Amino acid sequence: MNIKNDLLLRAAHGLYTERVPVWLMRQAGRILPEYRAIRERLSGFKELVTTPALAAEVTLQPVHLLHVDAAIIFSDILVIPEAMGLPYDMYESKGPLFVRTISSKNDIDKLNATTAHENLTYVYEAIRTVKKELNGSIPLIGFAGAPWTLLAYMVEGHGSKTFSKAKKFLYTQPQEAHELLEKITTVTIQYLHQQIIAGADIVQIFDSWAGILSPEQYTEFSLKYIAQICKAISTVPVIVFAKGAFFARKQMAETDCSVIGLDWNMDAIESRNIIGHNKTLQGNLDPCVLYASYNEIRKQTQKMIDRFGTQRYIANLGHGVYADTPADNVRCFIDTVKEYSSMKSSFSKTQSFS
């Protein structure tokens, strides 16, 4: 099916875009009162994730309410560990908590890597529902966590400032770590393939805990597996967002991904120089800018577009939007991207024709 507004896909493929496409990480979530209303009716976050009709509904909310250029399926990166046999609960205040964790080869051997993706049919069904509702208006983004980030939670058992238990695992049991990462990678590839079959037009890999590894460990324990996933996903573009991995930008450019997501610490021009011109960049406004006045939001958003340019570029924040951000400020960001980049693109087109 042709997609009416395919700006995001064209940007990902390196094709001309008449303006910069824009979406936000965590756009389907607490920033919208309409999301909070649904969430309050439910037993918890996981009910929302595992009920396709509800996941589809909240996926579509920012499409209608914020007019973003792409939907991203509402889900959680930790559904993969759970599908492999490691259940978790999600607590409002504390984040995820795994009932059991991984600490030995025996624990890893017990994990299901062959049919785990079949336990995630609720995600594929949500994708199919969203695709039907979108009716070809804009693309739908599928996603998964990077294998290292999933390992971090599976070994640590919960969120952490340092993930020192997970990092200790890499230093003390590197062979087991690789076995676990291989299993997660296998499941992730199957999972993303199923998302694509269900209708995902592009997929993003979130490496949320990239930035706590040393450059050497990152190459060995994270990038290697991200590269395998990028290689295996050949029918749709892949976005990789590795928060904090400024040191890996050059290597990231050598993978088969189409888009590299940047956090707000990474300078646009320096990143373009490091990465080269064969990848599309995505990002990277500091989420805290959206706490400021409309004037300041416009100023900072325009400056961002001035630095990235209007081509091979997808506007986004440098991290997920914070839950307490006023929805109108998010709208101001989105509208500024659309208006300012349209103006700039048409201006530069005129210029190049003159």
Site residues, a copy of itself (CB under 8 A): 161-162, 164, 167-168, 170-172, 211, 214-215, 217, 244, 246-247, 264-267, 270, 286-289, 291-293, 296, 322, 324
Q: CB under 8 Å to 41, separation ≥6 — which residues?
A: none
- Check if 39 is active-site: yes
What is the signed CA dihedral for 260, 266, 271, 272, rounded to 10 degrees? 80
Q: In whole angstroms, how close is the CB of 227 to a copy of itself at the nearest point?
A: 20
- Check if 100 is active-site: no
Residue 300's φ and ψ, nearest 5 degrees, are -70, -35
Phi-psi region of 271 (alpha: psi -120 to 50; beta: other; left: phi over 0): alpha
Q: Closer to a copy of itself at the Cβ: 40 or 216? A: 216
Beta-bridge mates of residue 280: 259
Closest CA to 284 of 18, 22, 11: 22
Q: Closer to a copy of itself at the Cβ: 78 or 266? A: 266
Q: In whole angstroms, how close is the CB of 280 to a copy of itself at the nearest point?
A: 21
Identified catalytic residue from 19, 39, 272, 312: 39
Q: In whole angstroms, how close is the CB of 284 to a copy of itself at the nearest point?
A: 9
SS3 284: strand
In this structure, the chain runs to a length of 354
Q: In whole angstroms, how close is the CB of 285 to a copy of itself at the nearest point?
A: 9
Identified catalytic residue from 6, 35, 69, 76: 76
- The rounded distance, in Å, linking the Cα atoms of 7 and 9 is 6
Q: Closer to a copy of itself at the Cβ: 124 or 221? A: 221
- Check if 36 is active-site: no
* Residue 86 · residue 157 · CB < 8 Å: no
Q: Closer to a copy of itself at the Cβ: 217 or 342? A: 217
- The rounded distance, in Å, linking the Cα atoms of 71 and 283 is 16
Q: In whole angstroms, how close is the CB of 212 to a copy of itself at the nearest point?
A: 8
Q: In whole angstroms, how close is the CB of 21 to a copy of itself at the nearest point?
A: 22
Q: Closer to a copy of itself at the Cβ: 147 or 287? A: 287
- Check if 191 is active-site: no
Closest CA to 150 of 47, 46, 245, 79: 79
Q: CB under 8 Å to 164, separation ≥6 — which residues?
A: none
Identified catalytic residue from 26, 249, 272, 312: 26
Cis peptide before 106 (omega within 30 of 0): no
Q: In whole angstroms, how close is the CB of 207 to a copy of itself at the nearest point?
A: 14
- Check if 331 is active-site: no
Closest CA to 327 of 305, 294, 354, 279: 294
In the numeric block, the tokens 């961002």 are attached to: 304
- The rounded distance, in Å, linking the Cα atoms of 335 and 318 is 18
Identified catalytic residue from 35, 153, 313, 340: 153
- The rounded distance, in Å, linking the Cα atoms of 77 and 144 is 5
Give the residue numbers annotated as catalytic, written as ranges: 26, 30, 39, 76, 153
